[in-house]
Amino acid sequence: MPRNIMWLLNLLKMKKGKKVVVLTGAGISAESGIATFRDSGGLWEGHDVMEVASPEGWEKNPNLVLDFYNQRRKQAITAQPNAGHLALKELEKYFDVTVITQNVDNLHEKAGSSKVIHLHGELFKARSSVDENLIYDIDGWEIKPGETCEKGSQLRPHIVWFGEMVPMMERAIEETQQADIFLIVGTSLLVYPAAGLINYVDPSIAKYIIDIKAPEMGINDPYLRFIEAKAGEGLPKLIRELVDEHHV
Least gap, CB of 37 to ligand APR (angstroms):
3
Q: What is the enclosing helix (H) or strand (E) of 85?
A: helix 83-91
What letter represents residue 92's amino acid?
E
Active-site annotation holds for 85: no
How many CA atoms within 13 Å lie on the side-chain side of 4?
Answer: 0
**Residue 166 makes contact with ligand APR by CB under 6 A:** no
Q: What are the angstrom distances between the C-alpha of 210 and each of 22, 47, 215?
A: 11, 28, 10
Chain-centroid distance of CA 112 in Å reads: 14
Q: What is the β-pairing status of strands 155-159 and 121-128? A: antiparallel
Least gap, CB of 197 to ligand APR (angstroms):
12
Contact pick of 57, 81, 157, 186 for ligand APR (by CB under 6 A): 186
Binding segment toward ligand APR, per CB under 6 A, in 68-76, 91-99, 163-171, 188-196 = 188-196
Q: For residues 77-106, which are near ligand APR according to CB under 6 A?
A: 102
Count of other CB atoms within 10 angstroms of residue 101: 32
Binding segment toward ligand APR, per CB under 6 A, in 9-17, 86-94, 145-153, 180-188 = 180-188
What letter represents residue 165's amino acid?
M
Least gap, CB of 19 to ligand APR (angstroms):
23
DSSP structure class, residue 32 = T
**Residue 156 makes contact with ligand APR by CB under 6 A:** no
**38-76: burial string, b at 16+ Cβ within 10 Å, e else:** eeeeebeeeeeeeebbbeebbeeeeeebbebbbebbeeb
Least gap, CB of 103 to ligand APR (angstroms):
6
**Residue 50 makes contact with ligand APR by CB under 6 A:** no
Catalytic residue among 47, 120, 246, 247: 120
Q: Which stretches does DSSP call E strand in the chain?
A: 19-24, 96-101, 116-118, 121-128, 135-137, 155-159, 181-185, 206-211, 224-228
**Residue 57 makes contact with ligand APR by CB under 6 A:** no
Q: For residues 22-41, which are near ligand APR according to CB under 6 A?
A: 25-27, 30-31, 36-39
**Residue 230 makes contact with ligand APR by CB under 6 A:** yes
Binding site for ligand APR (CB under 6 A): 25-27, 30-31, 36-39, 42, 102, 120, 186-188, 190-191, 211-213, 230-231
Q: Report, as residue numbers or ranges, the catalytic residues.
A: 120
